[in-house]
Every structure is written in structure tokens, then in C-alpha cells.
Amino acid sequence: MSEKEIILRYGFNPHQKHARIYVKKGTLPFRVLNGAPGYINMLDALNSWQLVKELKQALKLPVAASFKHVSPAGVAVGISLSDALKKAYFVDDMEQSPLMVAYARARGADRVSSYGDFAAFSDTIDVATAKLINREVSDGVIAPGYEKGALEILKAKKGGKYLIIEIDTDYTPEETETREVFGIRFEQKRNNAVVTAEMLKNTVTKKKDFPAGAVRDLIVTTAAIKYTQSNTIGFGVEGQAIGIGAGQQSRIHCTRLAAEKADRWFLRQHPTVLSIKFKQGVARAEKNNAIDLYLQERLNSFEKENLKAAMEKVPPQLTYDQKREWLGKLKGVSLSSDGMIPFRDTIDRAYESGVAYVLQPGGSIRDADVIKACDAYGMVMAFSGVRLFHH
């Protein structure tokens, strides 16, 4: 391994054997402290690092992200957890620090999708955070530094093969970026648009005020979608993303995905779900899958047997009315869109999942219809004028 080049295990797939990362000038801005990186590992590492660094600069809070396939499954800042969230995130028995809480929130946004994630941190990883990473199924981590005890814990993970990367916080890439597709080289200015509260100034609805919590949540979700494969809709509340709908050709489909994830995040905090007792020896990943299965509308006989195998006693499934009653308590959610919202259907669906604050670029021929929908629901919406597509 040189300071200018790293040979990777393989490319996107194992049969793509020749793979490397390198710089033409200077040296690589990171060190591999443990493990052997793959191509997707490094894409996740470098994208996720940009996200947590940007949010730390914007909010001055510790930030963590949980990445899968070059998009965040979750991202969050380190603000305290409720007792329900501690239990829903399986951390009620653990020592907590602000950075550890940020990762618990990021990982907890979509615990099924976060399985086998790449984790990113804005700050030096402490022992409390390392202990949480160690007990989760994760492929690697990137951070600006590691406490000695934390590094020892992480180096022992995955039989000593856990990927650990230390990044130079002062590194700034060149303004122009290039990539090659099918032998053709593409070049563009790097996306250096910075997500700040300034994006919220152009409010276009009758209601004009964004409370401080909504400002924070919109910054979190907007930064998240900046580093998510487009099209993207992000839902956020309490300083974390709770639903990211990504990579769909239709914005309403992105909205439905994000809303469904947000609904499941909140349903995981339902008293019936929190009271589920699992059989001894059932791993956290299996518990996550079982809860996800339990929250489905219908179960076939095989799925019912899977629940019986995981739970001491399977409670009656929540009815549609019980779910709607509980979801009606989800309020003050923020929504951010990486592109203009072309129809009011996004707003109609978002309202069902507690959305009260919206940020989008604007510029659709149907902006007036979307504004009218927001006014009907009492939402506050701003036009940022900035599109944030990412591919």
C-alpha cells in the first residue's frame, strides 16, 4: 500500500478483479488502519464522510451516518434519546455518549437496511461508540480519529478483518471532478453547494415560520439527500432522518418509500412492539427482521412460523385502525426533496406521516398546486432554488 494508491479486493463485483483507487497529485487523504477495502467500501466511505463533515460544520453537533450502496440508510446528530427510542434501538443497556447516540439514531432510522452498513463519524470515535459499532453487523468505519481503547475494540471485530479508515479532516478535493463511463470521460464542477438555514428564507406558504427544531431537521434531511442516489425524498425529525426514499424514477414513489420507512420507524416505538419478548439467543438482526415482519399487513403461514421461532409469544398484529391511531401522534416531521415537487400527491402522502415542514427547489409548472396543498394542511414550505441530484 502506497501513499498514492491502494489496490482493492475487487470492483463492484468479485469477478471484476482489477480495481484500485489512486491520486495523480499529492497523497491519499486517509489511512487504512485495519482490514482490506473493496470498491463499494471506498465509495461508501468517501460519500458518507462528506455528509457527516458537512453536517458537523452546519450544526456544530456530533454526526453519524449509516451507508449502504452509496446512499444513507440513516443519518443523525447526537441529541439525547427517549426511553422508547433507547429500547427500539436496542441500546437501553449501554453507556451513551453524544457520538454513540448519533450512530444509534442513524442506525435506528432503518435498522433492516442498515444491516452490513458502512459507518461514518464526524468526530473521534470514543469507547462507547466503538462498543455500539462492535455489536452491530457492519462492514467498515471512517472517522477523523480513534481513541486508543476504541481502536482496540474495532480491530478485533470480524475476526480482525473489520475495515477501519482514518480520514484527514483538512483535505479538500479539487473543484473539478471526473469519472469514466463506457470509455467516455465525464467532467463537472464538484457539488459544493452548502446546506444551511439560508435555504429556508424563501417561504412560499401562508405560514412562514420554521421553529428551531424544524430548521435543524431540514438541514439534516437536505444534507442526507445531497449524498443519496436521486430521485430522493427525505423525512426527518428529532435531529435524524427517519425515512429516505431513493433511486426511483418517480418522485411520488420516492415519497411513498420515505413515508413507509418513517411510519415503520414510529411504529417500532408502539407499546405493543416494545413489549415483545424474544427467545434467548435471537440476534439483534433477527429481532429487526421479526419486527419488520410483524408490522406487515398480512403474513403467510411460513412468515407466521418465523415469528413464532423468534418470539416467546407473538402478540396479535396491530390492526389498520390501531396503526393509524398511533401514527396520528407523529407530528412535526420535516421533508426535503432533491428536485422540484411536480404534483401535490407528494404533499398529500407526506401529510399522512406527520409532515409539517417542507423544503424543495421549486420551479415546477404546478408550484401553485403544491403551495395550495401545503396551505390546506397548514404546512410551512420554502423554495431553496437549489437542486441536489446525485448519481
Residue 279 within a domain: yes
Q: Catalytic annotation on 231?
A: yes
What would the DSSP string read from start to end of 162-229?
A: -EEEEE-TT----SEEEEEETTEEEEEE---PPP-GGGGS-B-SS--PPPHHHHHHHHHHHHHHHTSP
What CATH number has the domain bearing residue 376?
A: 3.40.140.20
pTM of model > 0.85 = yes
- Pair 250, 160 in one domain: no
- Pair 151, 262 in one domain: no
Span 326-343, average pLDDT: 97
- Pair 209, 102 in one domain: no
Q: Catalytic annotation on 69?
A: yes
Set 53, 56, 68, 261: catalytic member: 68
Q: Catalytic annotation on 68?
A: yes
Residue 390 within a domain: no
Residue 377 within a domain: yes
- Pair 262, 287 in one domain: no
Q: Catalytic annotation on 270?
A: no
Write the pLDDT tens digit of every residue in 71-91. Answer: 999 999 999 999 999 999 999
Residue 56 within a domain: yes
- Pair 28, 148 in one domain: yes
Set 41, 231, 289, 306: catalytic member: 231
Residue 184 within a domain: no
Span 298-307, average pLDDT: 92
Residue type, 142: I
Span 349-375, average pLDDT: 98
Set 148, 189, 313, 391: catalytic member: 391
Write the pLDDT tens digit of every residue in 194-229. Answer: 999 999 999 999 999 999 999 999 999 999 999 999
- Pair 149, 76 in one domain: yes
Q: Specify the pLDDT at position 64.
A: 98
> Number of structural domains, the chain?
3
Domain that holds residue 97: 5-167
Residue 257 within a domain: yes
Sheet holding 138-143, edge to edge: 30-34, 163-167, 138-143, 117-121, 63-68, 71-77, 240-246, 232-237, 333-337, 355-360, 380-383
- Pair 152, 198 in one domain: no
Residue where a domain terminates, one of 167, 184, 219: 167
Residue 221 within a domain: yes
